[in-house]
Structure 1
């Protein structure tokens, strides 16, 4: 059972938690598959793998693991293609704009801790006017070890001078929740995202929400 400290900071994972980036990943992947004359895939096939990163997409849909001589080239091409298309169709999850407005009205600070590199994460965030009051963005470029290590979350809290016990970390991957627990924050698993399932969350007794509108009840004013 998580203790009920006053909520002063909300930290979001990016892909699958704050922003639905699946459409742009899907379009990028199909552009690549078309180039290599491989059958295209549906967004439903892509969505469960997005939170695991580009390497996972290359392994899954090009059948190329990190030992494959094609791997580095495919990954580089994918990231280049994605960088050209990453703000076309991505959108805030339903209800997220209202939640951000609520946080601003109640003077609750918010930020992002993601495993997406800064050169990709920052332009996506900047493309949403609703997020112009974001106070911190921590990416793999800024830490020695990415999630599930808690370094990024702890760095965000330190930069903002807010105790982890007054923080909620939201994510859609088990690594997000592991990082939050290690950092000492309250955690919320986001089932509306890409990677989590209710059975796993119940097994570990992790709190979760099925839609953005359920997040409000976990915020202590």
Structure 2
């Protein structure tokens, strides 16, 4: 039986925000720029949490070897910055969950591998995140997930012991980071997870199919 969390930390893409379509739009812009076939949503959705590298790999496939990856990443990120919140929405139930945390006076924050400049561009579009106590991005510190440092640093900022914090994410690196930080690990099954990820092998403490399920543990 899991105890009540005293603090909650979230991954961002695929956990709080459904950013896949805007990331895919940027990928397809780069593909069209290089006269390559575009990528369908069903193909890139479950890669969205892997950032520019993963998306470019799925989009270009074996043809990626014909290009300079750093140039492609720069093109991808520039386009994504321009169109960062066109089709992005919070997952169904996230607003209700956040309101519940605020009502219960449970501090919460975000720990993402997304670059800080993109995180800071994206979050202000969502008023539900105004009460967020901490935001740690992929380049905020010297290490990023799956290293536990971003999580333990966030714990210090919200002043809650790691063992009393739940971390929710949709990638194995999220669960690995939570375990290394001595936090309760929660898999967001509704996020960018496909059968190929074999999330049942991640040995998380809890798997949830909807954000609001967390409210049952408050």
Please give the range of the TM-score, normalised by the shorter of the 2 chains: over 0.9
1:197–1:191 Cα change, 3 Å: farther
Structure 2, unmatched stretches of 5+, are none
Does residue 211 of structure 1 match 2:210? yes
Q: 2:140 aligns with which of 134, 137, 142?
A: 142
Does residue 109 of structure 1 match 2:111? no
Residue deviations 1:94-144 (CA, integer Å, cap 9, x gap)? 011111111111111111001101100122111101111111001122222
CA contact (8 A) 1:201 1:208 kept: no
Moved beyond 6 Å, runs of 4+: 64-67
Report the Cα distance in structure 1 between the residues aligned to 2:179 and 2:63, rounded to whole angstroms: 31
Structure 1, unmatched stretches of 5+, are none
CA contact (8 A) 1:191 1:197 kept: no
CA contact (8 A) 1:189 1:196 kept: no
Q: 1:23 aligns with which of 14, 21, 24?
A: 21
SS at match of 1:141: coil
Instruction: Tell me which residue corresponds to 1:194.
Output: 192
SS at match of 1:27: helix
* TM-score, reference length from structure 1: 0.91
Q: Counterparts in 2 of 1:93-172, with a 5 A limit? A: 93-172=91-170
Report the Cα distance in structure 2 between the residues aligned to 1:68 and 1:176, rounded to whole angstroms: 32
RMSD: 2.0
Report the Cα distance in structure 2 between the residues aligned to 1:205 and 1:177, rounded to whole angstroms: 8
CA contact (8 A) 1:168 1:188 kept: yes
Residue deviations 1:48-99 (CA, integer Å, cap 9, x gap)? 1111111111222123698765211111000000000111110000011111
* TM-score, reference length from structure 2: 0.92
Give the C-alpha shift of residue 210 in structure 1.
Answer: 1.1
1:66–1:127 Cα change, 3 Å: same
